[in-house]
Amino acid sequence: MAALADISLTEAKARALQEAARAKNVELSIYRITRAEEIVATIDKAQASGATALNVFLSSRIDGNTPLIIERVAALRLPTMYQWPAWAERGGFIGYGPPTDQLADHTAHFAASLLRGTMPADLPVEQPTKFELVINLKTAKAMGVTVPEALLVRADKVIE
């Protein structure tokens, strides 16, 4: 298993992720990029090193290039998971994370509070409370991947 991350992923977080994967008998190799231009070559390197699946970690550098990532992993037939459900809806294989409409609502609420004069330090720190699993079976079929029924029944949305 491979992960695509940018340089903001600290060594401590990388080690913690690898240890958590190892506890599940999965070997996780993390491939970092420093610039968007490295994305395709880094994905190719991960696959050439034996990766049979890819997890795309969230960062502005990567998220802004997700269409390129979707195109490249499709060409390589490399099953890939994204940290936004919307990317599965746009052609990615699997997306798992908070729904973007929920985050947009929170952003609007915070912006309105700031415009009403609330000091930023007085705004609460919030974490998403809802996560969605979206599986794109069209993409799975194009890659020759069979999705287990047990996973499909857990999905919030299945794209056929």
**Is the pLDDT score of 151 beyond 90?**
yes
Model confidence pLDDT, tens digit, residues 84-118 = 999 999 999 999 999 877 777 778 888 898 899 99
**Is the pLDDT score of 15 beyond 90?**
yes
Could you tell me the two tokens for 3? Answer: 């992960």
**Is the pLDDT score of 143 beyond 80?**
yes
Model confidence pLDDT, tens digit, residues 30-55 = 999 999 999 999 999 999 999 999 99
All domains of the chain, ordered by start, with CATH?
Answer: 2-99+130-159 (3.40.50.2300)
The dihedral of CA 117, 120, 124, 128: what is its sign?
positive
pTM score: 0.85
- Residue found by looking up tokens 């990388």 in the block: 14
Q: 80-82 and 132-136 as β-strands: parallel, antiparallel, unpaired?
A: unpaired
Cα 122 to chain centroid distance, Å, stands at 31
